[in-house]
Amino acid sequence: MEQNASRVPHIGVTVKQTDVYSDSLKVLKVIRPQWKPEAIKFKLLTDGITNNLVACLPELYEEDDTVLIRIYGNKTDLLIDRQAENRNILLLNKYGLAPSLYATFVNGLAYQFVPGCTLNTENVRRPEIYHLVATNMAKLHKVKVDGVEHPKANIWKKARKFLDTVPDAFSKEETRKRFLELPSKSRINQELELLRRELDRFNNDVVFCHNDLLLGNIIWNESSNHVTFIDYEYAGFNYQAFDIANHFAEFAGVDEVDYSRYPSKTLQMDWLSTYLVEFTGNIPTKAELDSLYVIVNKFVLLTHLFWGIWGLIQAEHSYIDFDFIKYAKTRFDEYFSRKEHLIAT
C-alpha cells in the first residue's frame, strides 16, 4: 500500500527502556485501537545492535498483523537523520521496497512486520537467495527522487561527521585503554584522505542506496520466494559500488565476524551479473563485470573504515550489550590487512 506522509501520525510518547511494554501500549492505542491490551503479546527481538525492537501481536490474530515498534538507541541522533529516515521509508514503500510506516513517536517508530526470516552467514551464499538480493538492490538503485537530477554521494561527508563525533577521550576507563590499541583519529583521517584520492579515480554511478545491508536487514520469505530490505536508517545517495561492497563485507557476520566468509570472486561475479541485468536491462559484457568487480572490492576498504568509526561512537554512547570496541578493531584490522593489495590492483 502506497503511503502519504501526511497520514502517518506522530504520537507524543517516549518508550522508555525500563518500561518498554506498557509504553508500547500507548503507541498501539493510537494505531490499533481495536486491540485489547490484555490480549497483546510482546516479544523483544535481539538481532539489532543499534536500536531495540519489539514485536506486538494480539492473540487470535494472524502473524501478518504484527506491529514492530523500534526504539532508537541512545544518542543515535548523532548518527542518523530521523526525518530523512521517515521520508526514505515512505518513498521506498511507494516502490514496494520498504514496509509500511504506521506512526512515529518521540524516540522511535512503528511499522509493518514482514513475514520471513533474516538472512544468515549460511543461506546468504545460496544462489537462489543471493540472486534475489542482487535483483532487489538493483531495483533500489533505480529509485528516483523528485527534484534530484544530479545526486551526489554523501559518504565522505558522513564519514567526516562520524569521525568528528568520536570522543577525544572516552568516558569509561576500560574503553580508553582499549582504544589505545586502535588507530588514532588523525590516522583514520589520513586513511580517509588516501581512500578518497584512490576512489575518485574511478567513475561510479551515484544512486539511491540502502548503505547498511547487513544480513539482519534482509528478510527472506521462502514460500513467496521474495526478499525485503528493512531499516533504512542510513539510506541516501551514495556510490553504487559502496552499497554492493558493504553487503559483501556483511557476509562475514556481526556477532562472530569472520572474513573468511567474504564472497569468492566466482560468487561475486555471479551476483554482479544478476545485479547488472536488472540495473541496466542488458546482459553485461565481461569487461563491464570485471570493471564493477574491481571497483566494488576497492570500496570494501571504505566500508571497513566507515563502520569502524561507527563502532567507536557506539562504544561511547550505546546501552546495547555488544562489544563495539572489538567490532571497531575487527573492521580496522581488516582494512589494514587488505589495503596494500587492493590499492595496488
Sketch out the chain's domains with CATH numbers. Answer: 5-112 (3.30.200), 117-344 (3.90.1200.10)
Angstrom distance (rounded) from CA 22 to CA 64:
22
Please give the pLDDT value at position 55. 94
0.85 exceeded by pTM: yes
Q: Can you give the pLDDT at residue 288?
A: 97
Q: Is there a contact between 50 and 71 (Cβ–Cβ < 8 Å)?
A: no
Residue 171, judged by CB atoms within 10 A of its CB (0-12, 13-18, 19+), counts as exposed
Structure confidence at residue 62 (pLDDT):
73
Q: Going by C-beta distance under 8 Å and a sequence separation of 6 or more, which residues neighbour residue 330? A: 257
Note the pLDDT of residue 3.
54
Question: Is the Cβ–Cβ distance between 252 and 259 less than 8 Å?
Answer: yes
Residue 52 DSSP symbol: E
Q: Residues of the chain whose pLDDT is less than 50?
A: 1-2
Nearest to 3 by CA among 127, 89, 69: 89
In degrees, rounded to 5, the angle at the alpha carbon of residue 206 between the alpha carbons of residues 203 and 207 is 145
Q: What pLDDT, on the 0 to 100 scale, is given for residue 1? A: 43
Give the angle subtended at the CA of 179 by the CAs of 174 and 181, to the nearest 5°: 115
Q: How confident is the model at residue 47, as a pLDDT?
A: 63
**Angstrom distance (rounded) from CA 131 to CA 270:** 8
